[in-house]
Structure 1
Amino acid sequence: MFRLLCILIGYFIGCFQTAYILGKTVRKIDIRQFGSGNAGTTNVIRVMGWKSGIITFAGDLLKGILAVLICKMIFPENLSAGLYAGCAAVAGHNWPVFLKFKGGKGIATTIGILLAFDFKIGIICAAIMAIVILITRFVSLGSILMAISIPVLFSIFWRSNYELMILALLLMGSALFRHRTNIERLLSGKESKLGQRSNKKLEEKQ
């Protein structure tokens, strides 16, 4: 039962869509109809600028942290409780029930989850992502490599806990699934780099 409750708590926390709310509040737009169509930090930066992007990242990071900490407090005796809530928060962010299941890609939320669950893993993952982005300016590549590092790091720090390993694989799988089109564009050399602005509606780009 604790797993189900953690999943429900995490999912509804994840459904809080920072990018969508910011778009409606600041620019009176649905961010999902502009740029890449993604309700996440990178698309907010491209459409609304860096200030809005930083706020979006902070909001999405915070909900990952909250999901983990709340369930760790409710179920302190269950080590996996926070990570179940975290995985569910990513699902809520990616597929929010209140927005017809069209959300973001869950990367900032994933970083928040990792920081709250195991600070060492969170810092390493954030550093991997930041270094790759600084070198290549491809946010998607940084996100993909960060995601791949999650189960690797869990196998180092939590190798004796198979349940946590499975949840780490779920976090990686979710990120890779949401970045499948980015992977295709990276391989074809068509992926956009960080800093490229876009105010075009999706239908105008097609």
Structure 2
Amino acid sequence: MDIDAVRTSYARWARIYDRSFGAVTQSGRRRAVEIINSHKGSVLELGVGTGLALENYAPHLSVTGVDYSDEMLEKAREKVAQQKLDNVVSLRQMDARYLDFPDDQFDTVAAMHVLSVVPEPERVMSEIARVCRPGGKVVITNHFMSTGGVMGAIERMTAPLTNVLGWHPDFSIETVLQEPELHVEEQRSIPPLGMMTLMVMTKARPS
């Protein structure tokens, strides 16, 4: 997937995202935020999109959101203003492969249904590890490729349509397990129909 395809796809999706894919994934998104709310400090949400998760963050958290799509961010900013979400400190247009933040900046980094829609997800994972503080949490929700069966066959067949769909249907879980500093604490299936996975990782502290 290339970055122009991402921009075009999400400019097209922005107006209907909340009622379509956003609605389907909202249950999993809420479960992820519940975990994030049990911690303190600063949160970076990658691929904040139209801001569907923003109203669910606890007031004690300081939330920064980034997204590559200006059209999606416009919707997110409208939600922040309308709902007076004072704990959302910044919403910025940014390429997740090149995060404009210092090392060890955030206590929690969230990537909800975003890793399979970005170019070079391995590079994005490296950036996630870089900006997360040692001892901090990385919370991921995503669909990962099935290992077999009918669903796996469908995913392989639709993989060439990645740029049209706007996401990788054959996205491998191994992609998010590449960073040696990030260790999986929890992994479980979440709605809809257990097709998505919720993963909580911790960044190792220096020895």
More helix by share: 1
TM-score (norm 2): 0.28
More strand by share: 2
